[in-house]
Structure 1
């Protein structure tokens, strides 16, 4: 149920055409396949393996968004100060602009 809601949420947020383009990009192929295979494993009754494979696919698919997420977290009104600490900032800087190795 969560997988269907996730995919429908992405589709409703950015549109059908953009969703298909995102999942069909050459650089997102491994993530898309991993997410799909994980979804299949969940459907056939292997939820633990499926969730692990889906998590890998999710990380690979959305690794390009981590820098944007870092900036968003640092600007949050109440807890943003935690993400602006030197240790956390150095973690963000180390991974800025890099995709997760596959």
Structure 2
């Protein structure tokens, strides 16, 4: 192994697969008119995949140790619970609000990455779309 190179452990590889299947099942559940069974399976796979990727303690720290993100954590898990008790539309809406609150800090980084892609970047840098995307990402541009 060359120094400085990044390799994934077997657990992290399985975690990536579980996360991908979780996203697939959630999208399939939404397409099939908010099927609560598929959404529940997608939520379980997504959470278990994230746990395998970053580790159990890091997952607990991410969700529960940050005081500023407590509202997002609560909304995310309440949304998952609502999907489990067969309120899929309301549960997914609450879960989405929690997801945005938890991962909202990453949106400017993701937007900057997408602007560098060939086709998507051209679309996102159009005069009518660029200010809208900046406002959605928090109104601040990255210096790079």
Distance 1:41 1:56 in 2: 13
Deviation at 1:89, TM superposition (A): 2.5
Matched, 1:18 2:58: yes
Which aligned runs of 4 or more in structure 1 are off by greater than 3 angstroms?
Answer: none
Matched, 1:39 2:80: yes
Distance 2:55 2:126 in 1: 36
Could you report, residue by residue, the CA deviation over 1:11-51 in whole angstroms, capped at 9, with x for unpaired residues? 23322222211111111111111111111111112112211
Matched, 1:5 2:45: yes
TM-score (ref. length: structure 1): 0.81
Is 1:66–1:96's contact at 8 Å kept on the other side of the alignment?
Answer: no
Could you report, residue by residue, the CA deviation over 1:50-81 in whole angstroms, capped at 9, with x for unpaired residues? 11111111111111111011011101133221
Of structures 1 and 2, the one with the larger relative CO (CA 8 A, separation 6+) is 1
Larger radius of gyration: 2
Q: Unpaired runs of 5+ in structure 2? A: 1-40
Is 1:31–1:58's contact at 8 Å kept on the other side of the alignment?
Answer: yes
**Corresponding residue SS for 1:86:** coil
Distance 1:81 1:18 in 2: 36
Between 1:88-97 and 1:31-40, the stretch displaced more is 88-97
Is 1:38–1:52's contact at 8 Å kept on the other side of the alignment?
Answer: yes
Matched, 1:73 2:73: no
Deviation at 1:96, TM superposition (A): 3.7
Distance 2:127 2:57 in 1: 40
Superposition map of 1:21-100 within 5 A: 21-24=61-64, 25-94=66-135, 95-96=138-139
